[in-house]
Structure 1
Amino acid sequence: MNETTADDANTVPDGAGLSSVEEFAAALSELRTAAGRPTLVALERRTGVSKTVLSDAFAGRRLPTERTVEAIASVLDADVAEWTRRRRELEESLRPQAVVGAGAPAYPVVRRRSALLAAAGAFVLGVVGTAGVVAALPDEVPDASGRGAPAAATALVTPMESPAEILVEVGTDPATTPCVDDAKVVASVTRARDTQLQIVYSNACQAAWARVTRYDDEAAGNAVGASIFRQIAPDASDRQDTHEPDAQGAYTTLIVRPTSATRVCAVGYITLDGEKIDLGDQICV
C-alpha cells in the first residue's frame, strides 16, 4: 500500500488539472493528511480562515477563494503558487456554469475579493504565524504588507438606495458570498494606538460588515474585536460581533439592511496586556 507524503501532495505533474470542486477538495484533503491531519481549530488559528470556510473547502461544498487556498497551502508547507494556479484553472473551467436560471445557482463559485481590496486599500486578511495578521476579508486575498494611506478622518460613501440584487443571510461570512465583488469601505476612522475601524458595504447585497485593524505591532498575546448593528437596535439578534486573539485585525459576519433607510453602526476594541481598550464612539452609515 502506497503512502502519501507531503512531497507527493505538493507536486502536481504538468497537465494534471482538476475538473470539479470535489476533486479539488479531495486534493486539499490529501495535502492535509500528508501534513499530519491538523484539526480545523488548529488550521483556523494558523490561517485566520474560519472553521466553517475551511470545512467547506475540504468537503467540496464550494470552491475556496484564492486567499483560503493560499493560506492552507502556506501553513501545510505546500507550493502556494502551484495550488493557486490549480484553483484559478478550475475556476476558469467552471465559469461557463455560472448561469442564473431555473434550478441553476447564480454563483457556483465564490469569487476573489480583488474588488474589495482595490476599494479598501492594502488590508492584511489572514492570520499568519504567532504575530497574527488580519482576518477579513477578509481573506481571499494574498497576504499584503502595509496599510496604504491612513484614514485620518471619517470617509463616507453613501450607499445607493436600491433593492438587493443578491439575497444573503444575516451572520454569513462575507468571504463566502458574492457581496465582496462590489464591496466598498463606506466609513473609516483612525483611532487610539494607531488603529483603524471601518464599515464595508455591498450595495448588491444591501449588507455590511465591520472590521478593525491595529498597527501598533502588539498583536501577539493580545486581541482585536469589532461589532456591527442597526443604530435603532444595537442589541438586537442581528448584531454581529467578532473577537480574534493574536491577530492584527478582524472582521464581522454580515448584517443585512432590512430597508434602504436603515442605518448601521460599528464599534471596535483592542486589548493590550490584558486590558480592553475601546476604540471610541461608534461610526454609522
Structure 2
Amino acid sequence: MARAERPLDPTADPLQAFAAELRRLRDAGGRPTYEALARRAHRSASSLSEAAGGRKLPTLDTTLAYVRALGGDEAQWTERWRMAAGATTGGAAGPPADDPPAVTAAVPPGDDGPPEAGAGAGVRERPSRRTTGALALAAVMVAGFATLPWLTGGFRPGAGPAATAPPASPAGPPQPVPGTVEVRDGADPKDAGCAADAEVTTLDSAAVLLDERVIGTVELRYAPSCGASWPRFVPVPAAVEVPRPARIQLTVVDGDDAGRQADFAMDYAGISTFGNLLTSTRTCVWGQVRLSGQGWASPVARTGCWRGATQVRPIP
C-alpha cells in the first residue's frame, strides 16, 4: 500500500500553498500513482512526489513536467511558480524585463527547456514583516488558483517552455541539463538539447488506428542540429475511446538495420507524448507507435523512412 502524503496547510506558507495546488491538479487528473506519472513526465517518481511535498519549491522544469503529464496549462503554472519563487525568497514575483517568454513554438510538446534552479524555503522562526508578507501572498495565491481552469488539454503540438532564470536554491537531486547529455541512440531528445533546435520539423506522419478508426497520428521528428530523429504520438480529439488501462510504445527504427532502434513505453493517458531519439544522418529511420491492453493491440502505425530530411522509401 502506498504511503499517504503528509498533510498540507495552504495558509501556512507559499511552499505548502503551491504544493497543495499541485496535488489538486493530480486529483483532477484521476490521481495516478507517482510511478505512472513519472512515465508520462520523463521524470523520477521521487522528484514528482517531492514537488508536491511542500518542503521546498521544485524546479520550474520539474513543475512543468508534472503539469504537462496531467494536462495542465504550462503558461499559468509558470506564472504560479514565479510567484512562489518570489514569495519564498522575498524577491519580486515576476521575471526581469528581458526574461524570455514562457512558451516557444520551436519546441515540441513535452520537450521543455533546461531545468531551472529551484527556490528553497527559509527557516521559520518568529513572525516578521517579511514572513507576514509571504503569508499574505500565499493567501492571495490560494484564492487566485481557485479561479483558474485546471485542464486545457494534453501537450500542445509544437510548444514547450523556454529557459528562464529563477532564484537559486540549496542543492537538490541532480537533473539533466538540456544539451549536456550526449546525442546518442536512446537519449531523451529534450535532455540531449535536440528538441530545442529551432529547425525541428515533422518529416512524416501516419494514422494510428484502433478498430479501423483513427485515434491519433505517429510523427517522425527531426533535429538538424543533432542529426537525430524521434517519434511522437498526437491523439485525435473526440476519437474512438481507447480501453484502459493501456500502454503506448513509441519506437524509432533503423530501416537498414532492424536491430538498431530506440524504444520508449508509458501508460496511455490520451495525451501527446514523445519517444527517445536515434541518430539519423547516415541511415534511413522511421517512427512507429502501437497501443495495447489486456487481450488487444492496435496495428503498428509507421511513418515513411527518412535519412536526414530526405525521404528514402515508404514503409508499408
* Residue 47 of structure 2 corresponds to residue 55 of structure 1: yes
Q: 1:4 to 1:188 in 2, by over 3 A?
A: same
Mapped to 2, the partners of 1:115 and 1:203 lie a distance apart of 13
Q: Does 1:221 pair with 2:245?
A: yes
Q: Which runs of 5+ in 2 are unaligned?
A: 1-5, 27-31, 87-92, 114-150, 158-178, 307-316
1:189 to 197, 201, 206: 206
Q: 2: distance between equivalents of 1:87 and 1:184? A: 35
Given that 2:251 and 2:276 are in contact with CA atoms closer than 8 Å, whether structure 1 keeps it comes out as no
Correspondent of 1:179 among 190, 194, 200: 194
The 1:146/1:255 distance shift into structure 2, 3 A limit, reads closer
CA contact (8 A) 2:231 2:252 kept: yes
Partner of 1:240: 262
| Equivalent residue in structure 1 for 2:288, among 258, 267, 282 | 267
- Aligned pair count reads 210
Take 1:279 and 1:91, find their aligned partners in 2: how far apart are those partners? Answer: 46
Task: Report the aligned-residue RMSD.
Answer: 4.9
Q: CA deviation at 1:227?
A: 0.6
Amino acid of the residue matched to residue 305 of structure 2? C
Instruction: Return closer, same or farther for 1:167/1:173 CA change in 2, 3 Å cut-off.
Output: closer
Distance 1:7 1:217, change over 3 A: same
Aligned amino acid, residue 199 of structure 1: L
Q: For 1:91 and 1:205, locate their aligned partners in 2 and report how far apart those are by CA, in whole Å.
A: 34
CA distance in 1 between counterparts of 2:230 and 2:208 reads 18
State the shift of 1:253 in Å. Answer: 1.3
CA distance in 2, matches of 1:73, 1:262: 36
**Alignment of 1:115 onto 2:88:** no
Q: Structure 1: which amino acid aligns with 2:8?
A: T
Runs of 4+ in 1 over 4 A off after TM superposition: 56-63, 71-75, 86-93, 145-148
1:168 CA drift (Å): 2.3
> 1:208: Cα distance to partner?
1.4
> Which residue type is aligned with residue 196 of structure 1?
T
Q: Within the alignment, does 1:70 sit opposite 2:63 as a pair?
A: no
Taking structure 1 as reference, are residues 137 and 31 closer, same or farther at Cα in structure 2, changes over 3 Å only? same
Deviation (angstroms), 1:147: 8.5
Give ranges in structure 1 of 5+ residues lacking alignment: 13-26, 97-108, 118-135, 149-163
State the alpha-carbon separation in 1 of the partners of residues 293 and 206 from structure 2.
20
Kindly, what percent of the aligned residue pairs are identical? 14
> Which of 128, 132, 137 matches 2:110?
137
TM-score between both structures, scaled by the size of structure 1: 0.53
CA distance in structure 2 between the aligned counterparts of 1:255 and 1:87, rounded to whole angstroms: 38
Q: Which residue of the partner structure matches residue 170 of structure 1?
A: 185
**Which of the two has higher C-alpha Rg?**
2
Pairwise CA distance, 1:82:
4.4
1:96-107 alignment runs, 5 A limit = none
After TM superposition, give the deviation of residue 216 of structure 1 in Å: 2.4
Show the counterpart of 1:254.
277
Give me the TM-score of the superposition, normalised by structure 2.
Answer: 0.49
Offset of 1:175 from its aligned partner? 3.0
* The 10-residue stretch of structure 1 (210-219 or 182-191) with the greater mean CA deviation from structure 2: 210-219
